[in-house]
A and B are shown apart, each in its own frame.
Chain A
Amino acid sequence: MNYPFWDVPLLGGGLVIALIAIPHVFVSHFAIGGGIFLAWTERIGIRKGKPEYIAFAKRNTLFFVLMTLVFGAVTGVGIWFSIGLVHPDATSALIHNFVFGWAMEWVLFLVEIAAALLYYYGWDRVDQKTHQFIGWAYAGAAWGSLVVINGILAFMLTPGRWVETGGFWTGFFNPSYFPSVLIRTCVCLALAGLYALLMASREPAGETHDKLVRYASTWLLPAFIGLPIFAAWFVFTLPSLAQDMFMGRAVVLTIFAALSLGISAIIFAFAYLIAYRNPQSVSTPVALLFLVLGLAVTGVTEFGREAARKPYIIYDYMYSNAVLKRDVARLQQEGVLRNAKWALVSKATPQNALIAGREIFTLACAHCHTVDGYNGVRLLVKGWPEPFIEHQLTYLDQLKGFMPPFVGNPEERRALAKWLASLNPSALPARTAAAATDSLSADPLARGEAAYSVHCANCHTIDGRNAIRQHVKGWTQSIAYERLGRLESLRGYMPPYEGPEAERQALAAWLASIGNDAPAAGGAR
């Protein structure tokens, strides 16, 4: 409500953040794992007298250092720019809480960058012991930055008692903090291992190739053992709505979770069965393929983790449309337009309904929806008559658990419904459709079925999901007629029936006919 809205057509702001953040997350995990990988590999080379390990660490230093210094740093700044534009209110809330968290992370960045540069330039210039020390400083600072930023990331999904106390450390060491740190650490090591596999696969065929491939594959072992345990712990700490969404309430999320598990399993199977047991068969294209699969897992997992936070951006505190949870009741009375500093109109009236509706969409919906692109609302409301849209808006949070409640007052809800209905002008409004069927057929049952398809079939089928036949079993026409008059009192989430009288009679007759039919006989209708 405080800031102008940054409108990104087709993509939407959320996807802009994701496009920058997912590569950043992938590369930063990879760079942190890389720091540990380099220091450890050099150590093994020194301790066990294996010069090929030292040479391998040295060859890969430039890549990991470049990844950290260039790609990690630049995309990290990119995340700041994008979240500041897309979610200024949430960014402000996070900074007000955690500015010193970021300051701590920054100090670790400085140590990491300085150590990484010294490590790179120090090969063969400083003695082995000093070089090892620098390597561990690089690895430790890199991992420390994860330990810090994880507190803020996990906070957004599970702020825990912070919602009551508001304390820095309460928010930082929140319920999902520890499982998240452990998951991310496992992922860091696994991604470094996948990269090392790629590099090892480029060695000429022979003993060194096989030894290094086998060594690289062992870096996936901590993730193989740890991830299932820590992931289960993580899911256990989630709010129950987020758990439900993973378990099937939001199908996309369930699919993402399944993809994350499935692809991870494929990667681990590859690491053990091929890379560890038959290292000589690992070629560069295969290793590259599995590195790309690693990116895919990062993508679906991070996307899923972000989506699990819906309908909030900071759980139990701020909704994804930047409205504070505690402000909802007030805004539903006062209206959003009056409270928005950058709205074109300050009040919804029947005269300005379309302009006001568009503005309300921007304020209340556009943080997640575009009009025609990603999560585009035009397709979502296609075929929905205006009263039906308004009803959906009234019970938005109950009908769709991952959406926030609608935050405007009743006039604003009407204006938004009008604007949303205007997005698909070719769709026939409910009453016109019913009237058209009147002239098509004199058969009341056919007219009733047409009315059913307009008023009920958005949610019901005849015999399948949410079967209407089950609901009306044994109803007579007069019972059906009476209940059509008070649908909203039968079930709080059903819209009232608002069609004309003759149509109501026809619909009641049709409902009575299917309620007393056997499915096989009535199913043909």
Chain B
Amino acid sequence: MNEAIIPSIDPIALPAPVWLMQFLSGLTFVFHVIPMNVVLGGGVVALVLAVRGTRGSQDLYVRLAGRMASVLPVAIAMTITLGVPLCYSFRRCTAPCFTHRRFSWRGRGSV
């Protein structure tokens, strides 16, 4: 690995210890992937059910597909919103900071 291109440590200290930032990143990531799987997997299953049900005139399949689809708007909204923390904590507060254990609960601390 070329160390020259690793970003140098941000002069502003983390507002919490690294372990807590990593824990929160992991936790919010799990929150995000649960509804995400409902959207992805549920969407595919509902589509297959709808197609097969319509072709084979199986009313039960079509009804099940309809019910699954009705959950999707809520699941999509939750996937996006629960994914928002990935935008800030996961990307920035952990990766360049593995080497960086200084933190201050109050803010920047010594710079």
Contact = CB atoms under 8 A, between A and B. Distances in A.
Interface string B1-42: 000111110111111100001001000000000000000000
A133 interface: no
B91 interface: yes
A205 interface: no
B80 A73 contact: yes
B64 interface: no
B48 interface: no
A459 interface: no
B53 interface: no
24 contacts: A69-B77, A70-B77, A73-B84, A77-B83, A77-B84, A80-B87, A84-B87, A92-B96, A93-B10, A96-B10, A96-B92, A97-B12, A97-B107, A99-B14, A99-B15, A99-B93, A102-B89, A113-B81, A167-B108, A324-B11, A341-B4, A341-B5, A341-B7, A342-B5
B88 A102 contact: yes
A74 B15 contact: no
Nearest to A81: B87
Q: Which of B77, B85, B91 has the most CB of A within 10 A?
A: B77
Interface of B: 4-8, 10-16, 21, 24, 73-74, 77-78, 80-85, 87-89, 91-93, 96, 106-109, 111
Q: Chain A binding site: helix, strand, loop or mixed by DSSP?
A: helix
A20 to B, nearest CB: 13
A96 B85 contact: no
Contacts of B6: 341
A73 B93 contact: no
Interface of A: 2-3, 69-70, 73-74, 76-77, 80-81, 84, 88, 91-93, 95-97, 99-100, 102-103, 106, 109-110, 113, 117, 165-168, 170-171, 324, 341-342
Contact of B108 (A2, A69, A166): A166
A117 B77 contact: yes
Contacts of A342: 5
A100 B85 CA distance: 10
B11 A165 contact: no
B12 A166 contact: yes
A109 to B, nearest CB: 5
Contacts of A76: 84
Nearest to B5: A341
A73 B4 CA distance: 37
Contacts of A81: 87
A166 B109 contact: yes
Lowest 8 CB-CB distances: which A-B pairs, in order?
A166-B108, A80-B87, A96-B12, A2-B7, A167-B107, A69-B77, A73-B80, A95-B92
A109 B84 contact: yes
Q: Which of A3, A96, A170 has the most CB of B within 10 A?
A: A96
A410 to B, nearest CB: 25
Contacts of B11: 324
A510 B80 CA distance: 70
Given A99-B15, A341-B4, A168 B89 contact: no
Contact of A91 (B13, B74, B92, B111): B92
Contacts of A109: 81, 84
A117 B74 contact: yes
Contacts of A73: 77, 80-81, 84
Contact of A168 (B15, B24, B73): B15
B80 A77 contact: yes
Contact of B78 (A2, A77, A92, A113): A113
Contacts of A88: 7
Contacts of B108: 96-97, 165-167
A66 B107 CA distance: 37
B27 to A, nearest CB: 11
Nearest to A339: B8
B64 to A, nearest CB: 20
A140 B12 CA distance: 32
Most buried by B among A2, A93, A166, A324: A166
B77 A95 contact: no
A91 B13 CA distance: 14
Given A84-B91, A166-B109, A106 B85 contact: yes
A168 B107 contact: yes
B85 A103 contact: yes
Contacts of B107: 97, 165-168, 170-171
Contact of B80 (A74, A165, A324, A341): A74
B10 to A, nearest CB: 5
A167 B111 CA distance: 12
Given A77-B87, A95-B93, 7 more contacts: A69-B80, A91-B92, A93-B10, A102-B84, A102-B85, A103-B89, A165-B107
Nearest to B31: A110
Given A2-B7, A74-B80, A166-B108, A96 B13 contact: yes
